Amino acid sequence: MSGLEVAALTVRVAGRTLVDTVSLTAPRGCVTGIIGPNGAGKSTLLRAIAGLMPYTGGARLDGVALPRAVGRDRARLIGYLPQGHEIHWPVTARRTVALGRLPHLGPFQGLSGPDLAIVDAALARTDSLAFAEAPVTTLSGGERARAMLARVLATRAPVLLADEPVAALDPGHQVAVTDLLREEAESENRVVVMVLHDLSLAARTCDRLVLIDRGRVVRADATDVVLGAPDLDRVYGVTFGRGHVRSVPIITPLSRRRPRTGDECSPGDVARP
């Protein structure tokens, strides 16, 4: 298969199984979304694929096993954007983005002209040039998120893993970032896997979705299939409303699910929040 393939990946920490024999495929040229409720294991799964947590099972890229050890070889193959974007050193946004080139440099080697061009291109693509020389500790949450995304783009890795890449962004930049990641998949033939909580944004952006709950895959399929399945309502414990606005899919929670009683509305009634 051309792309990322995860087979029976399991993560155990302190006797607890956080990810339980997860298998999934994420083709090149497509955006694969990981969805599920809080505590489902989404972030742990991404960290394991990135090589930041010990796991059992296998992970392959284009049919070749990914290196187990965290290091330069794996970092060249996988760009990882974590949640939170916590930075405690007052380095500039440009220098932060330049860290994405480190896996491609030898010991004591500085950035070359092509490396600097890649950094500038990443800053431009994330709309970050205006604050490139500002210390990241002075940036807003949204600006910091865009700078960290630029760092990941600067790796030029064939696999991009993004954990809630739009969490701190306004709606305009949410659309811009998800469109950018889609362009990376399509124009650069990369594997893009992102964790998202906004299901309408997932519907708009992702080609495939993997729904996980309690560390296990519940359903993995085309986006419209997963979002239309009754599994989704059951896993999240809500009743979702589904529709389209100007051909853009919309999915929103209407009410919490609860056992039916004789006093509740009939199935033909319209559910309201």
Q: In what order do the strands lie in the sheet with 64-65?
A: 16-27, 3-13, 56-61, 64-65
Share of the chain above pLDDT 90, in %: 72
Q: Where are the beta strands (DSSP E) in 62-215?
A: 64-65, 78-81, 159-163, 191-195, 208-213
- If you compute the radius of gyration of the chain from its CA atoms, what whole number of angstroms results? 20
Q: How far apart are CA 76 and CA 69, in angstroms?
A: 12
pLDDT higher than threshold 70 for residue 163: yes
Tokens 């699910």, located at residue? 257
Model confidence pLDDT, tens digit, residues 88-143? 788 999 999 999 998 888 777 888 899 999 999 999 999 999 999 999 999 988 89
What is the model's pLDDT at position 167? 86
Superfamily of the domain at 3-256: P-loop containing nucleotide triphosphate hydrolases (3.40.50.300)
Q: How far apart are CA 267 and CA 167, in angstroms?
A: 35
What is the model's pLDDT at position 70? 66
Mean pLDDT score across all residues of the chain: 89
- Angle separating helix axes 171-188 and 141-154, nearest 10 degrees: 10
What is the model's pLDDT at position 121? 95
Domain-wise residue ranges, the chain:
3-256
Q: What is the DSSP letter of 21?
A: E
What is the model's pLDDT at position 1? 60
